[in-house]
Structure 1
């Protein structure tokens, strides 16, 4: 069909209106009540949302990490102090047995010390596990408010993270156990290989352990990576949906199915960026720690011995404190940034698979965005 005054297929003459020529209106932008637009997210959306969420909610995140790890360190330190106090007699008995060259008595006392401090080590591991679970649960707890643009106080985030920490521990057990088994096999193979090649000890058994440990560990590595990605959304499911560990694992597997490589690539990129950023952050703290050691270098031979000892102690103590502070700040970055990105990947997968955007817009009291249609994964071919 042609229209007077214009070429074939052009709009009719007259004033331009919506839908004609240069007056085509751009598609409406999706609502963005919080840190992400309510549509399927691109990589740039996930990275921007991660930085925005951390920038807006760093206070409850930092407060949760400080309280969780601070409590873990206090309990662990108390356990160490109790262990030392309770084993004072064992220390003295072991020292006396060593001076008397009584190997049997010395072995017995050393076993008692190993058992006692083994309990202390278990207490420390449990405390750090709980602290890690609380910080892992804090990121989805923050994102529940960040996606909708609502404020989140420390008290709200802390209570939510503590309540969901047991479920987060449950969903992390399988990836952690597989990773621990892989590392244990690789270390066993490496130690056996060093004994066989370098120390010439162990004989055939060392060769067998080296081969089995290294080969089995390397074969288990792809399985560990696959499971790590398959269950990567489980902590977010456990917090967002208040799901049990098994339900969170199954839900994560369903959400990741069909998007494994995309989720793996984005998660790996974010972890790499966080590790690089954490390393860069530690550099100025290392320099400050080195400067704190300068007073001890200027000690003169005329200085009083007690004064010199105090100066050295203060310098070394300052270096340790500054270095620990840098490590803590670096740990905050490498902990929260990947977890925030993973939480946004969870939201993205639900928008793509379950059209979650209208429900989020309704919760934020905004008009709903147009529904997202999942593209067909297996296009139909015409039959001949």
Structure 2
């Protein structure tokens, strides 16, 4: 197969020797070559022209999830949703398990801390009542931080597994959950550390602005109230713009941590450099996916809420208190279950989208598609000495690839 496409490697220089991957079960069949009609000889017997040469283009190989070429918007969106059904057990199953466990544990922890705090406040009396109330409220707030930290860690682990599945699925590989977790070993703590660091920075910035507004309202008088309102509006607008910019420039950090096995500082620099020139594309695709997921979630959840409200009226038309409590518990349980399912699907699709954007940018900037094709070709020929294509850099030697099973 000859690759005569007009695509060029980064820097504008044409590609080197043309490499043709051998046929694979995932490669679409090449289009049949049209046969040129024989030349027609004029009255003098001399052929009127030479036969038309057949076209030399053939579609790029597609060993797995995506074709090995720079991706279009439709390909990225389609592959993001295809990840769920291509390998559903480690994707949707693991995502549902993690999301469900975090939701249940969060409800239990918050409920226990709230019950304990309310019990102490209701039993407080005498001179120590104010101290007891303040301590109980502080305990409830501290207890609510535990589910937040747990959720951040769980999402980081889930994101690492999804990123690896997309990266290896691009090469036509399909791994078990145990194999993906084994390959992500050594990167999980870096993922959790990055997620906690990003959350801490955002929380610290919001806290500073809130404290400034409270101080202005408390000690500034009427003028302070006006200044605090203006400060709040400016801070909200600034956070929206700055947050969107930083989020887009740093969204590839988890992917670089897992796929390229970089430490946090180098992964930040890597994400920053990769998104240069692709800011609006990266932001637009991720916002589009988020809007699609939000619309689908609303389409599913709103009818269910309406149906459940009618069911509660039919079951308990007299408004009995005990029956109402039971209906409320059932409705809350069903709503929580639906929320867990939607969150599990959303986590897979959004993480897969980010991984596909990363692969697409590297194809366009670094010729990753050629390295992927070379790896697939060597593997089909039985050559296991080719390094992991994701660890190959144009200016750096490739480290030893991790073991996959």
Greater shift, 151-160 or 221-230, is seen at 151-160
CA RMSD of aligned residues (A): 3.5
Secondary structure at 2:340 match in 1 = helix
1:132 to 131, 155, 161: 155
Aligned-pair CA distance for 1:336: 2.2
Aligned ranges for residues 42-121 of structure 1 at < 5 Å?
42-77=72-107, 79-80=109-110, 83=113, 90-91=120-121, 93-94=123-124, 97=125, 102=126, 104-121=127-144
Distance 1:40 1:47 in 2: 14
Query: Any conservation in 2 of the 1:133–1:169 contact (CA below 8 Å)?
Result: yes
What corresponds to 2:167 in structure 1?
Answer: 144
What corresponds to 2:177 in structure 1?
Answer: 154
Distance 1:340 1:238 in 2: 15
Is residue 358 of structure 2 the alignment partner of residue 346 of structure 1? yes
User: Aligned in 2, Cα 1:116/1:152: closer, same or farther, shift over 3 Å?
Assistant: same
Is residue 288 of structure 2 the alignment partner of residue 269 of structure 1? yes
What corresponds to 1:259 in structure 2?
Answer: 278
What corresponds to 1:325 in structure 2?
Answer: 337
Distance 1:87 1:192 in 2: 28
Secondary structure at 2:246 match in 1 = helix
User: Aligned in 2, Cα 1:257/1:353: closer, same or farther, shift over 3 Å?
Assistant: same
Distance 2:66 2:247 in 1: 25
User: Aligned in 2, Cα 1:152/1:92: closer, same or farther, shift over 3 Å?
Assistant: same
What corresponds to 2:238 in structure 1?
Answer: 219
Greater shift, 314-323 or 172-181, is seen at 172-181
Aligned-pair CA distance for 1:231: 0.8
> Under a length normalisation based on structure 1, what TM-score does the superposition of the two structures give?
0.75
Aligned-pair CA distance for 1:344: 0.3
Aligned-pair CA distance for 1:160: 5.0
Aligned ranges for residues 290-301 of structure 1 at < 5 Å?
290-299=309-318
For structure 1, the 5+ residue unaligned runs are 301-307, 368-384
Is residue 249 of structure 2 the alignment partner of residue 230 of structure 1? yes
How many residues align? The count is: 337
1:207 to 214, 226, 251: 226
Distance 1:85 1:222 in 2: 39
User: Aligned in 2, Cα 1:25/1:124: closer, same or farther, shift over 3 Å?
Assistant: same
Distance 2:281 2:345 in 1: 23
Q: 1:202-248 CA deviation, whole Å, 9 max, x = no partner?
A: 42222222222322332343222111111111111111122221111
Distance 1:182 1:277 in 2: 32
Distance 1:292 1:242 in 2: 52
Greater shift, 314-323 or 70-79, is seen at 70-79
For structure 2, the 5+ residue unaligned runs are 1-38, 382-405
Distance 1:342 1:206 in 2: 42
* Structure with the bigger percentage of helix: 1
Is residue 348 of structure 2 the alignment partner of residue 336 of structure 1? yes
Distance 1:149 1:231 in 2: 28
**Larger RCO, structures 1/2 (Cα 8 Å, 6+ apart):** 2
User: Aligned in 2, Cα 1:81/1:109: closer, same or farther, shift over 3 Å?
Assistant: same
Distance 1:270 1:217 in 2: 24
